[in-house]
Amino acid sequence: MMNLDHQKAFFNQGMTRDLSFRKSQLNALYHAIEKHEKNLLLALEKDLNKSPYEAYMTEIGYVKKSISFALKHLNKWMKTKHVKTPYYQLFTQSYIQPEPLGIVLIIGAYNYPVQLLIEPLIGAIAAGNTAVLKPSEQAVYTEQALVEMIRDTFDQSYIDIITGDAAVTSSLLDLKFDHIFFTGSTRVGKIVYEKAAKQLIPVTLELGGKSPAIVTQKANLKHSAKRIAFGKLINSGQTCIAPDYVYVEKIIEKEFISELQKMIKKFSDPHGNYGAMITDKHYQNIVALAAANPHGKTAEKNQEKRTIEPIIMHHVSWEDDIMKREIFGPILPVLTFDNTSELIATLKEKEKPLALYLFTDDKAEQRKIFSSLSFGGGAINDTIIHFANPHLPFGGVGQSGIGTYHGYASFLTFSHMKGYTKKGIKLDLPLTYPPASDKKFHMIKKFLK
């Protein structure tokens, strides 16, 4: 049975508190990714049939850029900040000092198995923690490549990596970590939350859900179709912030679907070389979902490669099975609405999604929809790209998650912001000390309003 004694001893030595140590470890991680790049790319191809181009853009290059960003800003992030003090607290200075939480557990999902493990790790290192990593067991080749890279780079008492199935993850959740960072399904997120609560361990939960792409009659249909197709097709729909479905204004339905079909055709590999579903089980689930719709029956598929041609589903309603769960595959249902007030009223009844995309050139419509609906994050006239801006916090709300990360938000997630005051010893305001008097009471009433 694993315990955290070595990590605790390492953390208690105190070196993770130094800027120079954190920078050297981030640099080590950067060089490790470069050294193991070929291995990681090959593993991603074997697990998900990810092309090196896509894998570099969304995983390898993505985390390298993220390390560079953290290295550039870390000095500023770590500084103790001097803040204002209320005037009645005489001769007092106030500060906020970020401090590491301690030992953190990072649990990854299968769909971006490198990025979803390494991105939080960057935050954990930057904030001065030690970490235990648990990659997804479903991405078997990448799991192995990650083990090789991490073991080759870090002292095991500082950054460790543990592999295994749900039972292994479950036993890790019995250890007394100082923070748990989980990426995965809402179902497992609930298990993690419950176990963490038993020991009062704070959590970040990066979960999933059904993210809509809304297209109104004021949208540029060509651009909308292109950007929605991009967001859906990347990793064959296995992206937490992929548009799960399209919600299009009825009056432009036909025209929009025709644009979407063109774009999907243009983006699809002529040799049918699509991203693969991660497992046979997931492949069968997506095939069954597709087959439940008349349009899905025509989809090309390859059981051996676990690939499925992208499908647009027309005439879908909220009662259909496909609208009752996150799809996580290359099926794009299209629903229609009559006007934006009806759309807002309907979406307010649904769970708050991880992302929402709105396609319209009308500023009033943009304001109306973005200020009425709650969602983790999103984009106007695009999909996915908000994820890749390190100046934006990323995370869900409601059932799509708890907490945020990326850039400074990662640093905050893995730090405790310790607030304290410092007071001179020469002068004291008698007002705060007993015994009470009517005069003191009168003065306190004047200050505290």
Distance between first and last Cα of the chain: 56
Binding piece for ligand NAD, criterion CB under 6 A, among 44-52, 143-151, 178-186, 212-220: 178-186
How far is the C-alpha of 239 from the C-alpha of 279, rounded, in Å?
A: 15
How far is the C-alpha of 349 from the C-alpha of 198, rounded, in Å?
A: 31
169 counts as binding ligand NAD under rule CB under 6 A: yes
Give strand pairing partners of 249.
337
Of 305-334, binders to ligand NAD (CB under 6 A) are 326, 328
Shortest CB 295 distance to ligand NAD, Å: 24
How far is the C-alpha of 259 from the C-alpha of 241, rounded, in Å?
A: 22
Strands of the sheet with 81-83, listed across from one edge: 81-83, 92-100, 415-423
Paired tokens of 160: 């460790």
* 59 noted as active-site residue: no
Q: In the set 170, 279, 302, 346, which binds ligand NAD (CB under 6 A)?
A: 170
Sign of the dihedral defined by the CA atoms of residues 367, 373, 377, 380, in that order: negative
In the shown chain, the binding pattern of residues 189 to 218 toward ligand NAD, with x for contact by CB under 6 A and - for none, equals: --x--------------xxx----------
184 counts as binding ligand NAD under rule CB under 6 A: yes
108 counts as binding ligand NAD under rule CB under 6 A: yes
59 counts as binding ligand NAD under rule CB under 6 A: no
Beta pairing class for 311-313 and 212-215 = unpaired
Shortest CB 268 distance to ligand NAD, Å: 23
**Looking at 206, 253, 259, 326, which residue is catalytic?**
206
Q: In the set 150, 228, 240, 248, which binds ligand NAD (CB under 6 A)?
A: 240
How far is the C-alpha of 94 from the C-alpha of 348, rounded, in Å?
A: 42
Binding piece for ligand NAD, criterion CB under 6 A, among 134-142, 147-155, 225-233, 312-320: 134-142
Query: Do 197 and 230 touch, CB atoms closer than 8 A?
Result: no
| Total site size for ligand NAD, rule CB under 6 A | 27
Determine the residue with CB nearest ligand NAD: 208
How far is the C-alpha of 395 from the C-alpha of 393, rounded, in Å?
A: 7
How far is the C-alpha of 348 from the C-alpha of 56, rounded, in Å?
A: 37
134 counts as binding ligand NAD under rule CB under 6 A: yes
Place of tokens 């993770």: 16
Shortest CB 3 distance to ligand NAD, Å: 19
Sign of the dihedral defined by the CA atoms of residues 107, 67, 141, 306, in that order: positive
Paired tokens of 113: 């198995």
Shortest CB 186 distance to ligand NAD, Å: 6
137 counts as binding ligand NAD under rule CB under 6 A: yes
DSSP code string of 130-147: EEEEE--SSSHHHHHHHH
Shortest CB 17 distance to ligand NAD, Å: 29
Shortest CB 158 distance to ligand NAD, Å: 21
Q: Helices (DSSP H) in 217-321: which residue ranges?
A: 221-233, 253-267, 280-291
Binding piece for ligand NAD, criterion CB under 6 A, among 73-81, 135-143, 329-337, 433-441: 135-143
User: What is the CA angle 254-259-261, rounded to 5?
Assistant: 95
Shortest CB 90 distance to ligand NAD, Å: 47
* Pick 256 or 375: Cβ nearer ligand NAD: 375
How far is the C-alpha of 91 from the C-alpha of 411, rounded, in Å?
A: 31
* 249 noted as active-site residue: no
**Looking at 59, 240, 253, 365, which residue is catalytic?**
240
- The residues carrying an active-site annotation are 206, 240
Give the interface with ligand NAD as residue ranges (CB under 6 A).
Answer: 107-111, 116, 134, 136-138, 166, 169-170, 183-185, 188, 191, 206-208, 240, 326, 328, 354, 396, 401
